[in-house]
């Protein structure tokens, strides 16, 4: 009777010694690891939602057919603050990991701001119109659910809030981190437009594993960056946008 457990233990040891054969391949936005192939890049099927999901993001928002809801039922309250940032070039975008206590309330639930990052050109479209860039603010509730705030970016005025992240120290190489102190960090509460209507819909992460159940809130009023600020980002990342997915039977709301 002692043989069985010992044999099982041996087998377990043999598996533990095997190389991690089924690790996911690196995904990208072009070539053999482009969005069309994401679902096949993970041998364990962890990226299968990228192909099989029916509530995927981004989408082309048909604003004329958005269902109007009153602002009270949307009840979006954003309380973002100035706090230290860990800005990293993660190989897919420039991402700022946010310390501190920036949070938002949406429909009675509290979400904490984890990070923000950028895509160029925009991932979402408004009535078929694509913007030069799009900013995503990723927020998470204590139950793990995600809410992403999106703002389109158009070319216009120089954005002074981003000066320290942009003009001096945008991390150029994959894996490079830059720390920004609280004093030099942008006031996150002053970046998003104070007056804007919003689109609301249920979607997914726009990168593998394309997990669904993400609440999207899109500002209709775009942000502005100067042409120089946009080209500074595009000199590092251009084409880091997933193509639009089908809306299928989803409802899009507007406040």
Structure-block tokens of residue 161: 């809030």
- Given a contact cutoff of 8 angstroms between Cβ atoms, the answer to whether 158 and 231 are in contact is no
∠ at Cα 166 (162, 168), nearest 5°?
120
37 in active site: no
CB of 59 to Zn ion, least distance (A): 14
How far apart CA 15 and CA 129 sit, in angstroms, is 51
The least distance separating Zn ion from the CB of residue 119, rounded to whole angstroms, comes to: 5
Please report how close the Cβ of residue 29 comes to Zn ion at its closest, in angstroms: 12
- Closest approach, Cβ 134 to Zn ion, in A, equals 7
Q: Is 158 or 202 the residue whose CB approaches Zn ion more closely?
A: 202
- The string of DSSP codes covering 2-67 is -HHHHHHHHHHHHHHHS--TTPPPPP-SSGGGSGGGGGGS-TTSTTTHHHH-SS-S--EE-GGGPE
- Euclidean distance between the first and the last CA atom of the chain, given in angstroms as a whole number: 68
Q: Would you call 219 helix, strand, or coil by DSSP?
A: strand
* C-beta neighbour count of 51 within 10 angstroms: 14
Q: Minimum distance between the CB of residue 96 and Zn ion, rounded to whole angstroms?
A: 12
Count of residues in contact with Zn ion, rule CB under 5 A: 1
For Zn ion, the closer of residues 133 and 178 by Cβ is 133
Using alpha carbons, list the distances in angstroms from residue 152 to 118, 119, 131, 208, 251: 10, 10, 6, 22, 21
What residues numbered 136-165 form the site for Zn ion, per CB under 5 A? Answer: 136
Bridge partners of 111?
Answer: 104, 141
CB 21 within 8 A of CB 15: no
| Residue whose CB is nearest to Zn ion in the complex, by number | 136
Q: Which of 30, 99, 86, 35 is nearest to 242 (CA)?
A: 35
242 near Zn ion (CB under 5 A): no
Site for Zn ion in 107-136 (CB under 5 A): 136
Name the residue nearer to Zn ion (CB basis): 150 or 180: 150
- Choose, from 92, 117, 119, 177, the residue flagged as catalytic: 92
Known catalytic residues? 92
Binding site for Zn ion (CB under 5 A): 136
């Amino acid at each position: 009777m002692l043989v069985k457990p010992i044999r099982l233990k041996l087998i377990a040891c043999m598996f533990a010694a095997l190389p991690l054969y089924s690790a996911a391949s690196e995904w990208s936005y072009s070539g053999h690891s482009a969005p069309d192939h994401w679902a096949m890049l993970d041998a364990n099927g962890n990226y299968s939602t990228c192909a099989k999901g029916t509530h995927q993001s981004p989408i082309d928002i048909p604003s004329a057919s958005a269902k109007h809801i009153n602002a009270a039922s949307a009840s979006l309250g954003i309380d973002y603050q100035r706090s230290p940032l860990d800005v990293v070039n993660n190989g897919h975008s420039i991402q700022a990991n946010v310390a501190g206590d920036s949070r938002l309330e949406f429909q009675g639930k509290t979400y904490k701001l984890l990070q923000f990052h950028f895509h160029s050109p925009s991932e979402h479209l408004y009535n078929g119109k694509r913007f030069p860039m799009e900013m995503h603010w990723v927020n998470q509730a204590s139950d793990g659910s995600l809410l992403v705030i999106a703002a389109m970016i158009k070319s216009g005025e120089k954005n002074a809030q981003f000066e320290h992240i942009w003009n001096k120290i945008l991390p150029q190489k994959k894996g490079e981190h830059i720390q920004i102190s609280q004093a030099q960090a942008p006031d996150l509460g002053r970046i998003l437009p104070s007056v804007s209507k919003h689109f609301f819909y249920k979607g997914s992460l726009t990168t593998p594993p394309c997990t669904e159940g993400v609440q999207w809130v899109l500002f209709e009023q775009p942000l502005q960056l100067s042409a120089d600020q946009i080209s500074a980002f595009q000199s590092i990342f251009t084409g880091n946008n997933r193509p639009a997915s089908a809306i299928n039977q989803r409802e899009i709301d507007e406040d």
